[in-house]
């Protein structure tokens, strides 16, 4: 008998179906990856499995226990990490662990967990002062306090850096034996690829349940690479005009293209498919083929060749240096990626570049204007999307955007225009805080664009977003860059890092490498790893720096 038995499960909220007719069996010793775009029903499924929601029809049995009638017994044998884990912001890391251990009746031995999450040096830091990724790791540590038979992890790796994600996988794999079954929802498709079994949900329906490689293999013969095209963004836009192209993304100096069945591209070479190609294919291809945002953007005036200059930017919090002599220049029309492990100093640097945090030393120039000397003028050139949703949650999107229009002297009509461009007109008068993540991100992007800035700072704009929504986002970013906008963006998605023209790698507050994605990969080549991915390069460079 299987450990988890899901039978004809449906769940409706009001008149909308969150899940319809899902059946699946899961076994101990197995990791099941749950994937799918926003609103697919991933969180609903995990909550139903945790016995926190009642099915509308059908049922779930965990070890023969019904999640509805025997929810207490189900809670006893399961561990659940919700998507938004509730840490106590005013308690320290250690106090949070102690409190959760108390609540769950778990032993108060945290050494292994602290070591694994690299939180050991920060046990006395208040949760509210942790970086985004560090908070996520603390949440995970809390969920692992007591070893469960069924571990339900709802997007545990959102905002977690590649090194820690590898560690997280390794840890989850060490937990995995014949006493436990793990269900893991994720928007990182490289993670899904590593699961023995994936459940692909879309709009509440199961599109696929099985081994991910079975789906990937169906794409053989349909994935191509255009090597080093002259102007990669112009080529990308022209590819999207071709009906036989299902999807195209930039990969370093190349373009990766998925073709419709039985179609060819003359100047492209066939390449091995990956799971993401199959995922995009099953969901019908790229959701957006031209950016209405860049099409609407007025002509830009700021001709400065280096619209962003960071000159020895340094930020110290007491004895701790969060950013250390950070120095770089970003060219006009460039997409500049900012990568680094959790707590490396990315958000701190962004805040200094936006004039939200006063540098301890150094200066920032935006469009040639010194942020400290002429903050108002410098800020009029820039738009900023914070890592966390930072608009007013209790105002409507309309009120939020009108507020931004007022602050930046933007036209009021821009509110309706942005709502149309980002497809949230039906939500304009709802409560912003209640919107699903994907919509919130679109709203934040719209708010940052209200005054049509020539420089954009995007701090993990796609964190937690599914691959389909992320494509939409990047269609806008590519369009804006092509229009002459200068974009600085941070991300923990390595596929997105390859969309950037250049990448700065920051670690412990210092920039340790700055180059094109291809050059970084080239530099990481070795006998053991002759064809490193960008993630391999990232891990190698950080580890090499840490070792010396």
Ligand X SMILES: Nc1ncnc2c1ncn2[C@@H]1O[C@H](COP(=O)(O)OP(=O)(O)OP(=O)(O)O)[C@@H](O)[C@H]1O
Task: Report the nearest approach of ligand X to the CB of residue 271 (Å).
Answer: 30
Binding of ligand X at residue 322 (CB under 6 A)?
Answer: yes
Is the CB of 39 or the CB of 156 nearer to ligand X? 156
The CA distance from 490 to 480, in Å, is: 17
Count of Cβ atoms closer than 10 Å to residue 429 Cβ? 10
Q: What is the DSSP string of 165-195?
A: HHHHHHHHHHH-STT-EEEEE-S-HHHHHHS
CB 532 within 8 A of CB 266: no
The owner of tokens 């939020």 is: 400
Task: Report the nearest approach of ligand X to the CB of residue 344 (Å).
Answer: 4
Short-list 164, 62, 158, CA closest to 116 = 164
Is the CB of 185 or the CB of 387 nearer to Mg ion? 387
**Residue 168 touches which of ligand X, Mg ion, none (Cβ within 5-8 Å per kind):** none
Binding of ligand X at residue 344 (CB under 6 A)?
Answer: yes
**Residue 345 touches which of ligand X, Mg ion, none (Cβ within 5-8 Å per kind):** ligand X
Token readout for 37 is 């775009």
Is the CB of 181 or the CB of 462 nearer to ligand X? 462
Task: Name 412's Cβ contacts closer than 8 Å, sequence gap at least 6.
Answer: 402, 405
CB 489 within 8 A of CB 458: yes
Task: Report the nearest approach of ligand X to the CB of residue 326 (Å).
Answer: 11
The owner of tokens 């019908």 is: 284
Q: Can you point out the beta strands (E) in 155-244? A: 181-185, 197-202, 205-210, 223-226
Binds ligand X (CB under 6 A): choice among 131, 291, 414, 486? 131
Binds ligand X (CB under 6 A): choice among 133, 229, 359, 453? 133
**DSSP one-letter code for 297:** P
**Residue 82 touches which of Mg ion, ligand X, none (Cβ within 5-8 Å per kind):** none
Binding of ligand X at residue 343 (CB under 6 A)?
Answer: yes
Is the CB of 70 or the CB of 83 nearer to ligand X? 83
Binding of ligand X at residue 127 (CB under 6 A)?
Answer: no
The CA distance from 33 to 238, in Å, is: 35
- The residue sitting closest to Mg ion, measured at its beta carbon, is 347
Short-list 266, 255, 256, CA closest to 231 = 255
Is the CB of 291 or the CB of 348 nearer to ligand X? 348
Short-list 281, 292, 234, 231, CA closest to 257 = 281
As a whole number of angstroms, the longest Cα–Cα distance in the chain is 71
Binding of ligand X at residue 510 (CB under 6 A)?
Answer: no
Binding of ligand X at residue 346 (CB under 6 A)?
Answer: yes
The CA distance from 320 to 317, in Å, is: 5
Task: Report the nearest approach of ligand X to the CB of residue 352 (Å).
Answer: 10
Q: Which residues bind Mg ion (CB under 5 A)?
A: 132, 346-347, 387
Task: Report the nearest approach of ligand X to the CB of residue 343 (Å).
Answer: 4
**Residue 129 touches which of ligand X, Mg ion, none (Cβ within 5-8 Å per kind):** ligand X
Binds ligand X (CB under 6 A): choice among 81, 130, 171, 182? 130
Binding of ligand X at residue 347 (CB under 6 A)?
Answer: yes
Binds ligand X (CB under 6 A): choice among 30, 348, 478, 491? 348
The CA distance from 236 to 232, in Å, is: 6
Binding of ligand X at residue 345 (CB under 6 A)?
Answer: yes
**Residue 322 touches which of Mg ion, ligand X, none (Cβ within 5-8 Å per kind):** ligand X
Distance of CA 496 to the CA centre of its chain: 10
Is the CB of 345 or the CB of 367 nearer to Mg ion? 345
Residues that bind ligand X (CB under 6 A): 129-134, 161, 317, 320, 322, 340, 342-348, 387
């Amino acid at each position: 008998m299987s450990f988890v038995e899901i039978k004809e499960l449906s769940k409706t909220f009001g008149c909308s179906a969150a899940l319809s007719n899902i059946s699946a069996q899961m076994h101990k010793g197995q990791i099941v990856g749950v994937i799918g775009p926003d609103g697919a029903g991933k969180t609903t499924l995990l909550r139903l499995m945790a016995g926190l929601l009642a099915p509308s029809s059908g049922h779930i049995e965990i070890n023969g226990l019904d999640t509805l009638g025997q929810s207490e017994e189900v809670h006893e044998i399961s561990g659940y990490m919700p998507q938004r884990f509730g840490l106590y912001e005013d308690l320290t890391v250690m106090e949070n662990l102690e409190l959760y251990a108390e609540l769950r009746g778990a032993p108060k031995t945290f050494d292994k967990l602290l070591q694994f999450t690299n939180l050991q040096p920060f046990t006395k830091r208040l949760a509210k002062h942790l970086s985004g990724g560090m908070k996520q790791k603390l949440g995970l540590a809390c969920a692992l306090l007591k070893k469960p038979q069924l571990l339900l992890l709802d997007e545990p790796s959102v905002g977690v850096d590649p090194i820690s994600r590898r560690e997280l996988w390794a840890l989850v794999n060490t937990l995995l034996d014949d006493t436990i079954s793990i269900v893991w929802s994720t928007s990182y498709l490289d993670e899904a690829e590593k699961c023995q079994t994936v459940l692909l949900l879309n709009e509440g329906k199961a599109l696929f349940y099985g081994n991910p490689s079975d789906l990937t293999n169906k794409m053989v013969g349909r994935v191509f690479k255009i090597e080093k095209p002259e102007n990669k963004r112009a080529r990308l836009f022209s590819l999207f005009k071709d009906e036989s192209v299902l999807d195209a993304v930039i990969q370093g100096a190349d373009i990766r293209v998925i073709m419709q069945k039985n179609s060819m591209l003359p100047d492209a070479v066939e390449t091995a498919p990956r799971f993401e190609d199959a995922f995009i294919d099953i969901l019908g291809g790229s959701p957006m083929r031209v950016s209405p945002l860049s099409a609407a953007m007025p002509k830009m005036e700021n001709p400065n060749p280096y619209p962003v200059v960071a000159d020895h930017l340094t930020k110290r919090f007491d004895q701790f240096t969060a950013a250390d002599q950070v120095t770089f220049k970003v060219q006009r029309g460039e997409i500049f990626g900012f990568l680094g492990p959790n707590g490396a100093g990315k958000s701190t640097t962004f805040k200094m570049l936006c004039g939200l945090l006063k540098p301890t030393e150094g200066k920032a120039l935006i469009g040639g204007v010194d942020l400290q000397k002429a903050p108002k003028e410098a800020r009029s050139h820039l738009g900023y999307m914070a890592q966390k949703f930072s608009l007013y949650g209790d105002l409507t999107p309309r009120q939020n955007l009108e507020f931004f229009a007022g602050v930046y002297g933007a036209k009021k009509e821009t509110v309706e225009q942005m709502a149309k461009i980002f497809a949230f007109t039906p939500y304009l008068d709802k409560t912003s805080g209640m919107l699903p993540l994907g919509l919130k991100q679109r709203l934040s992007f719209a708010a940052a664009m209200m005054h049509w800035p020539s420089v954009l700072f995007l701090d993990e704009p796609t964190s937690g977003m599914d691959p389909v929504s992320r494509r939409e986002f990047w269609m806008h970013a590519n369009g804006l860059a092509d229009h002459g906008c200068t974009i600085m963006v941070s991300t923990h998605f390595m596929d997105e890092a390859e969309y950037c023209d250049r990448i700065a790698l920051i670690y412990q507050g210092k920039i340790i490498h700055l180059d094109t994605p291809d050059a970084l990969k080239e530099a990481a080549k070795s006998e053991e790893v002759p064809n490193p991915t960008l993630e391999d390069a990232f891990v190698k460079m950080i580890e090499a720096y840490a070792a010396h």
